[in-house]
Structures are given as structure tokens and as C-alpha cells.
Amino acid sequence: MEAQAKVKYITTSPRKMRLVVDLIRNKNVEDAYAILKNNKKHPAKTIEKALKSAYSNLINKLDKGKISESDVIIKEAFVDGGPVLKRMLPAPQGRAYRIRKRSAHLTLIVEHTEEE
């Protein structure tokens, strides 16, 4: 059984967010929390909140009560680009430099590994 969480319009560039997401892909939730807590990059907080949401969605979907975090793995984790805000910065001699403020969409899919 699997569940997902999506966070859209995150005001962080997708490239910076992918660096953190690559660290937790295919890990169990317990290890992923430890990695995200000790990561000093800004997107780690947003990814941690999304991971908590995906884990809670799985618990609500299964109706078995509490599931151990070590039995749940992050099956898929990916970051897509969102809309880009285009801004201008004054430059010398009447010119303008374009600033592209990027955003990202995060998708996390977690899966319960059933031991038999």
C-alpha cells in the first residue's frame, strides 16, 4: 500500500531542492527524518514537512493504527519545476538584468513494506 504527498509552489529553485531529495530517496522514513534534521540546507524543512504528511496519509489509508517508521520506505521522491517569476534589476546605461525567481513542486510517495 502506498500514499503520497504533494507540495506545490515552493519558493526554492528545483535544482537546490533536488540535492536534498536525492539524499532520502529509497530510504526508510526513520532514516530520512535523521538525514533531514541534520541537513543545513533550506529545503530540508519543507521536505521534512511533506514527508510527515505522506507518512500520516499512509497511516490514515491503512487503518491499522500506528505503523513503525522503519517499515515505511520512500518509494519515489521527485521535484518538478514550477512557474518562474520574472523580475528586472536596473543595470548600467539604461539596461536591465533579468532575474528569474524559480519555484518547485515536490512529490513524495511512501510505501509500507509488509513483512511476511
The second-level CATH assignment, the architecture, of 2-112 is Alpha-Beta Complex (3.90)
Q: In the predicted model, what is the mean pLDDT of residues 8-22? A: 96
Cell 506545490, located at residue: 8
All cell numbers assigned to 58: 499512509
Q: Taking a C-beta distance cutoff of 8 angstroms, is the pair 62, 1 a contact? A: yes
Query: What backbone phi and psi angles, to 5 degrees, belong to 109?
Result: -120, 120
Alpha carbon 56 to its chain's center: 15
Is 102 within 8 Å of 8 (Cβ atoms)?
A: no
pLDDT band with cut points at 50, 70 and 90 for residue 116: very low
* pLDDT tens by residue, 45-56: 999 999 999 999
Which residues make beta-bridge pairs with 84?
Answer: none
State what percent of residues in the chain have pLDDT above 90: 87
pLDDT single digits (tens) 35-84: 999 999 999 999 999 999 999 999 999 887 788 889 999 999 999 999 99
Q: How confident is the model at residue 85 (pLDDT cuts 50, 70, 90)?
A: very high
Q: Are 3 and 57 in contact (CB under 8 A)?
A: yes
Find how far residue 4's CA is from the centre of its chain: 11
Report the pLDDT value the prediction gives residue 66, as an integer from 0 to 100.
Answer: 83
